[in-house]
A = this chain, B = another copy of it.
Amino acid sequence: MFKIKRLFNFAAMIEVRPMEYNEKQLQIIDTAERLFAAKGFEGTSVRDIAQEAGINIAMISYYFGSKEKLIEAIFAYRISYTRLTIFSVINDNDISATEKMEKIVDSYIDKMMKNQCFYRLMAQERSILDIHNISELIYESKSKNMEMIKKLIAEGQKRGEFRKNIDTALLMATMIGTSNHFIVSQDFYKRYNNLKDMAEEDFQKLLKKKLGTYLKSLFKSILTHE
């Protein structure tokens, strides 16, 4: 029915379509994601989710099978979107490797800023790893991304844009880790720099811009300088 056993089909990768959920299910996913991010998986009860989402408690088991399955669904749902972007950027033949990398950074930051809850949640789960059946999902997604980035780096090196000896894993760690940490520490940043009075929207824009500029400059540095 709405249960997907195997998430990604290599052969049909381009056509990978995120599973379809009805409105109520999406509402549950959004609410759960937000609450899981804010209070942790175990710290959030299905009652909390049901109440916040304005639905019946039994609906969660009814729609997703269990609380565990719900978080798996959240990850499957969110991750299924991520790949498409990178994929389309990589395959764009009209721009240089450097430009591609910049686009990827921008796109990553954009996605993360828009889905902060999910990325917070992922930061938690990365640590708790293997308790819920998510690690496999993350592994697949991550290695897929790694492959693409590697290909891109190779392309850049071939074109003479990038230097040799680039450690993709650490490069990714820098992009993901720096972004995550910066976003997750935004409360510290706001308080430390006395930006409490800034409108939230403006503050988010500021973070995004700072982070984007910084990361792209950093990547340039890493990728080109000897």
Contacts and interface: CB of A to CB of B under 8 A. Distances in A.
B167 A173 contact: no
Contacts of A193: 169
A41 B188 CA distance: 22
Contact of A211 (B38, B42, B120, B170): B170
Interface in A160-208: 167, 169-170, 173-174, 176-182, 184-185, 187-189, 191-193
A114 interface: no
Contacts of A222: 218, 221
A173 B169 contact: no
Oligomer copy total: 4
A34 to B, nearest CB: 12
Interface stretch (A96-104, A105-113, A139-147): A139-147
Contact of A37 (B43, B127, B138, B176): B127
A129 B187 CA distance: 9
Contact of A39 (B131, B142, B181): B131
A173 B187 contact: no
A41 B128 CA distance: 10
B191 A170 contact: no
A21 interface: no
B39 A214 contact: no
A189 B210 contact: no
Interface in A111-162: 120-121, 123-124, 126-131, 135, 138-139, 142-143, 146
A130 B184 CA distance: 12
Interface of A: 37-43, 120-121, 123-124, 126-131, 135, 138-139, 142-143, 146, 167, 169-170, 173-174, 176-182, 184-185, 187-189, 191-193, 210-211, 214, 218, 221-222, 225
